[in-house]
Every structure is written in structure tokens, then in C-alpha cells.
Structure 1
């Protein structure tokens, strides 16, 4: 308001040549969420963004870009956890997003980054780090990340120019606040870059960059040393070295018992026509922790394994479930699934029968579990406790702590669990503790709510 009332007292040139006025006006418009007005203001006063632009203005302009990008990607970028770690998921080649229309904001960020890197002070480093993080993290959190965009954006950074400082945040664990060290910008660059290369099938570069990551980074976070090793192994596989890939994935599996690594080993043994080992690893994968919806390609693989073992009925059922889950989730069903199903004379299994088919196959898969593992599901280790705290109660479910024998245990319930709506502070529950395994934390499984009178 003050600017509007007094700007007529000054020439356009006087205003545009005042670095303090320009930078402060841009900052004020950003703080009041008038982002587009900030860009218009710079345009009206002919402020160009290049290596000659005043540093104060560049920094204000950069934070304006950051705020604008953040506001446009609020659903994909959780502001409460801006430094959320780089998690891992099933890594497969994604050919769906090789081409894209580059967002205008990203274009502006890409122009600004090399300018900021040359300034090289604490203000520019902080801004560069935030621009780097917000673009990559928000893109990765989208339902279908554009890995080509992520790869191209990483190319605007030399990892050696990025910060190696690991900041620390506080997180709540078992009712206590504990320090958690976060990965540096350099480590995150290697994580995003190598994953994007794997997704778009650039195997040699993925191999070379993953090796450089292991050689360069001194202190890894979030098991990144395992994931870099995995990308090296998968790159070797696609470069034609199957034997070394199997050996390296088996080594990784001893450190990280993840279902998608078991699936990859199953695929490799299937290619070698060792169907018994392929079956073993596929069963390990399908019974391992992870939503069945993520395992549609594994179901297809199980169908192929059963087909090669001349077990046509089981093959048909696995192919069918792979198709039905995709249809239920409204995902595209690959032609290869239809091609397999068309070879069978059995009556088509309809979407209304999906739960019955899931239950039937789950019972079949679990029949191959070792007896001592299955015994975990009995009630001999049942415990009793009281809900003492609820941290979150929303559309996603409830999380909190229960107390048993003087110890507190963290629990998490989805909104689809039949007891979630009945759980409240003071509820007396029967539960089981699922012991911590390598790569997994201790988990609580609530079995039932018990009236205190029954005790």
C-alpha cells in the first residue's frame, strides 16, 4: 500500500535501480502469497535475471520461485517434511514419460541455478538447496513421477557443487524425541539421479553413477549404500552379466529382505530356466511384506512359472488376479496378460470374485511358509495392553501408543481395519508384537478389544 501511494514521486528508473526496494517488494509480495504479482512487478520495472543482476534481487527472486512452485505442487510436496528422506520402491523401467512439456517455473529455476552456484555464499547455497529439493521431491511424490524430467533437472547440478552437510531433525520414536540425521544434498542428488537413470533404462550411466556414489559418499543414510549396490546389479543384468547380478542381489538380500529384490532374483532364475529357484524366490516375494496391489507383475511372473511347470490351473489363476487387480485399480492391463489368458479354456474369473481368488491364492502361497514362521500367527504370544495416547486420528486411520507391562509400543491402524473406529484412549486390547527383523522395525498387531469386566 505504501509503495502504491508513493511510487509516483519517483521515476521508473529510480525504482528499478534501487536494489533494496526491488528485493523488498518482491519479498513482501511473496510473504503475502501474491506470487504472480511478484513476477509482474519485476517485469514492469524491467528487471532481468542474469549474471549481472544484483545479488539481493536474485535471492528474493529465487525464493519467489520456490514459494510459487511449492504452492502449485502442494498435493505432491509435504511442507511439514521438506527434508523427508528418499525412500525406495520397486524399480522397473518406466517408458511412459520420456517426453514432457517443461513447466515454465522449472525453466526459470534452471536458468537461476548456475547463477546462484557462482555467487557461492550461505544465502545462495541455502536457496539452491531448497530449489533442488522442492522440484525433485515434489515430482517424485506424484502418482506417476516423470523420471525423464528428474534426470534432466539433475543434469543442471554438478554433485561436487552441492552441500555435503547433513542436517538433523527431531522425530518421535516410542514416545521420545530423538535426533535423526538427514542425507546431504550431494547424497540426495546421487539417489535421484541413479534412480531416474534406472527408470529410463540408461544402464551404463546408471552403473557408472552408482559406482561413483559409493566411492564418493562417506556416510550413507536410509540404506542408500544398499540401493546403490542394487542399481549396479540391475545395470549389470541389463548390460548382459546375469551371473554377477544374481550374486550381488543375493548379497543385498541378506541386508535388505525386500520383496522386489526377491522378485528380481526370481526373474533372473526364470531366464536361466531354473524354475525351482524361480518359484522359491517368487513365493518368498509374494508372502513378504507389501500390498498385493504393488505385486501385479509378480503375479504375472508366478503365472509364467506355473505354466512352465505344467500347472495350468494355478497359472490361469495367477494371470487372472494380475489382470483383475489392475482393472479394479483402473490401471492399464498389458497385452501380455491378455495373451496368456487367451490360451486357456477356463471360464473367465470376474471382478466380483477377486476377493475369493485372493483368499484362495493366499492360502496356497502360505502353505509354502516354514512351519516355524507360520507359528507366529498363533495366539501363544498374545499380549494385553491399554491405549494411552492417540497421535493422529484422520481419514487415513489412527496412530498412537499402547502400554503393556510397563512398556509403551507404537501402533498404526488403517481406516479400513474393522477395529479402528472403536479404538480410543483407555481401550483395553489384545495384541501381538511382530518382532523386529533385519530392515524392519518391531510392529504391533491389534487383535481385539477386550472389556475390562472380562478380565
Structure 2
């Protein structure tokens, strides 16, 4: 008879070799040698077994395992287990939501670990979010994805008030969930204003898409089209923009541009077929309303090229906006909004009492010296239609 220690070591070895199905079989065959209490009190077995159950998608068994062995999950390991759900190709947010409730958020650690990462051949320290911040990030996301919008709104507000410093732009994502929850709760005006503010900091295609959706719902199709085109031209895999393509198709139909609308619906359908995803009935139904000849999957590359050319026609001409080159300005960093693994941003005081926004990437040399009171030289990038002026090309004075 193997000891409990040997039993736990064998389970750990199988998991390290990624033989998760074998882990479950080994546990099933050997668990009767020990009492449920013995297993439940062994934190190593508990951690490895829940890991294996997550890896093999045996989600219901996780909760049965916890109940059977009367487990109280260790806060120290909880964040690691939670992150395993996010590594799955398709996240089951209902399970994540339930899993988050297995631990009291107040019991979770607020300490932030620092690890060393390599960027462009240079090793740099990177601070990780605390277990408590991770919990809020997962729980609010799970609440939103499972359509518990009032709870998501309330908890996201608590999250924003709970930390002085955020990681991975979590403050942006909490603010976005607040805005989108407001939309689903019937307050689209506030949601739109808040999403537009978020776009100033995080110009992501899916936020532009959300803004476009609200404008369309409000009947402002011109602005909806503008933001939808910005989103399709923005960085991001086209395969994940199949819903955005449908939005553009709907807006083109409203403009009576039938052939372009048909081609956007077709691209959305063909991308789904290529990825072996289901084609929604709404897309098939919309395509059946047109009299054009259906586009086959073999024509997908040609269709992509054609529509990319169409989208790029809405981009400003490739003449970069003129910068204020009369002379470099000088000033002092007056306030820092964020300084994390992605870079830093804030405001510079210059020319008496003027204030100007700046942002520097984590790869820029000056990032190591960013601090309130630092004297800097910079150029001014003038304001455009949808952006305020900002300081660029920062150097220490």
C-alpha cells in the first residue's frame, strides 16, 4: 500500500507530464486506500486533482470533488487554479462564476509578485496582479458573460475602489464592464459616453465596435459606420470580427449599398465556415434576401483582398499629421496616471501653466526615469478630429 505522500507525488508527476486523463484514472483507482478527510487535508492532492479536472473539462466533477472531501480551497493557490480556466480554448464563464464563489475575496492576498521577463533581448522586472485583483477581474468578466449585468455593474465599481494601482489595464476593463452593463440595463447614453472616454486610453477594435453598435441602436448610422470602419481597420484578427462584419453589412444595407452589404455578410459566413464555426441563422437568412450569386469558399482570399481595399479607402491619406517642429518644448512631469508593464502615461506642465497629455511605451529608454518632477523635452502632436493634442518624442532635459 502506497503512502499518502507517494500517492500525491505520483499524481503530481502525471500532471507535470500533462497526462491529465491518467491522473484521474490513477486517483479513481487508488483513492479508496485513504479516507476523504485525508485526501481533503492534503493541499497538494487537492491542487493537482482540481488542475486535472479543469484540464479535462470535467467541470461538474470539480464541485462534487470539493463537496465530497469538504474542501476549503487555499487562498494561496486559488489564483493559479482560476487562471487555468482562462487558458482553455473556450472559457466556460458559468463555471468560472461558480468557482469564484468557492473563496472569500477578503481572504485573498493583496501582495503583488514581481517576475523577470525578457523584452527585445533585455530582462526587465514585471509586477503581477495580486490574487485579489485577479479574482475581481475573473468574477466581473464571468458575471458579464453570464448576463448578470446588475451584479457585474456593482462589483466592477467595488473593484475600481479597491486598488490604488491596477495591472494589465484592469481599471480600463472594469470601467468597460460598468459601461456595457449600463447599456444592458437600459442606460445607453451613459454607456456611450463612458466607452468614448475609454477609447481615449485603449483604442481597441472591440470597443470601437461597441460604440458603433450603440450609435446604430440610437439611429445615428453615420457615426455607427465611422466607428465600425475604424474597428475593422484596427489591429486584430479578421476571424474574430465576424460579428463586426455583420454590423457593417447592416449599415451598408441601410445606405442602400446592396452589393457591398452582400459581400460583408458573405465574408462573415465564409470566415465562420473556414474556422468550422456555426453560421447563425440570421446571417444565412440575410444572404437569402439578395439576388447576387453566392460566393464560394474558394473565393474567400479574393473577397478578403477586395474588402480590405474598400476599408482602407476610408483611412486618411498616408501623410502624417504635422508636428509642431518650430522648437522642442520643455516642461516637468506633473502627474502620472499609469506606470506598468505596458508603459506610462500622464501629464506634463509647460509654458507657464499649460498641461499636456503624454504616453511612452515600455520599450522607450525614458521609461526607466519616468517620475513626477522629471524635466523633459518633447514635441507637440496637434489635435485631430477625434484626438486631443499630446506630447511625443519625450527626452530627458
Identify the TM-score tier after normalising by the shorter chain.
Answer: 0.7 to 0.9
Question: Is this contact kept in 1: 2:232–2:311, CA < 8 A?
Answer: yes
Deviations 1:82-136 (A, max 9, x none): xxxxxxxxxxxxxxxxxxx7432443246668635xxxxxxxxxx54324422x3
Indicate the larger mover: 243-252 or 153-162.
153-162
Q: Find the counterpart in structure 2 of residue 316 from structure 1.
A: 262
The structural deviation recorded for 1:44 is: 2.3
SS at match of 1:178: strand
Cα separation, 2, equivalents of 1:258 and 1:438: 16
Q: Find the counterpart in structure 2 of residue 137 from structure 1.
A: 83
Q: Find the counterpart in structure 1 of residue 132 from structure 2.
A: 186
Query: How do residues 431-450 of structure 1 correspond to structure 2 at under 5 angstroms?
Result: none
> Rg: which structure is higher?
1
Q: 1:208 aligns with which of 148, 154, 168?
A: 154
The structural deviation recorded for 1:144 is: 1.8
The structural deviation recorded for 1:187 is: 0.5
SS at match of 2:72: helix
Question: Is this contact kept in 1: 2:262–2:290, CA < 8 A?
Answer: yes
Q: Find the counterpart in structure 2 of residue 425 from structure 1.
A: none
The structural deviation recorded for 1:31 is: 4.9
The structural deviation recorded for 1:298 is: 0.2
Change (3 A) 1:339 1:27: closer
Question: Is this contact kept in 2: 1:255–1:438, CA < 8 A?
Answer: no
Q: Find the counterpart in structure 1 of residue 46 from structure 2.
A: 65
The structural deviation recorded for 1:42 is: 4.9
Cα separation, 2, equivalents of 1:279 and 1:439: 31
The structural deviation recorded for 1:439 is: 9.6
The structural deviation recorded for 1:138 is: 2.2
Give TM-score, length-normalised by structure 1: 0.65
Cα separation, 2, equivalents of 1:71 and 1:200: 25
SS at match of 2:318: helix
Change (3 A) 1:115 1:74: closer
Cα separation, 2, equivalents of 1:327 and 1:354: 10
Question: Is this contact kept in 2: 1:113–1:156, CA < 8 A?
Answer: no
Question: Is this contact kept in 2: 1:113–1:128, CA < 8 A?
Answer: no
Q: Find the counterpart in structure 1 of residue 274 from structure 2.
A: 328
Query: How do residues 368-379 of structure 1 correspond to structure 2 at under 5 angstroms?
Result: 368-372=314-318
Question: Is this contact kept in 2: 1:306–1:314, CA < 8 A?
Answer: yes
Question: Is this contact kept in 2: 1:207–1:231, CA < 8 A?
Answer: yes
The structural deviation recorded for 1:441 is: 7.0
Q: 1:263 aligns with which of 188, 194, 209?
A: 209
Query: How do residues 291-440 of structure 1 correspond to structure 2 at under 5 angstroms?
Result: 291-372=237-318
Q: 1:239 aligns with which of 154, 179, 185?
A: 185
Q: 2:32 aligns with which of 28, 37, 43?
A: 43
Cα separation, 2, equivalents of 1:198 and 1:280: 27
Deviations 1:369-397 (A, max 9, x none): 1113689xxxxxxxxxxxxxxxxxxxxxx
- Number of positions where the alignment pairs a residue of Structure 1 with one of Structure 2: 320
Cα separation, 1, equivalents of 2:152 and 2:319: 37
Question: Is this contact kept in 1: 2:94–2:146, CA < 8 A?
Answer: yes
Change (3 A) 1:323 1:371: same
Q: Find the counterpart in structure 2 of residue 452 from structure 1.
A: none
Q: Which runs of 5+ in 2 are unaligned?
A: 15-21, 322-357, 365-397
Query: How do residues 87-102 of structure 1 correspond to structure 2 at under 5 angstroms?
Result: 102=59
Query: How do residues 77-88 of structure 1 correspond to structure 2 at under 5 angstroms?
Result: none
Cα separation, 2, equivalents of 1:111 and 1:294: 40
CA RMSD, 1 decimal: 2.8
Cα separation, 1, equivalents of 2:239 and 2:362: 22
Change (3 A) 1:31 1:196: closer
Cα separation, 1, equivalents of 2:197 and 2:229: 19
Cα separation, 2, equivalents of 1:131 and 1:108: 16
Cα separation, 2, equivalents of 1:373 and 1:103: 57
Change (3 A) 1:42 1:338: closer
Question: Is this contact kept in 1: 2:140–2:155, CA < 8 A?
Answer: yes
SS at match of 1:157: coil
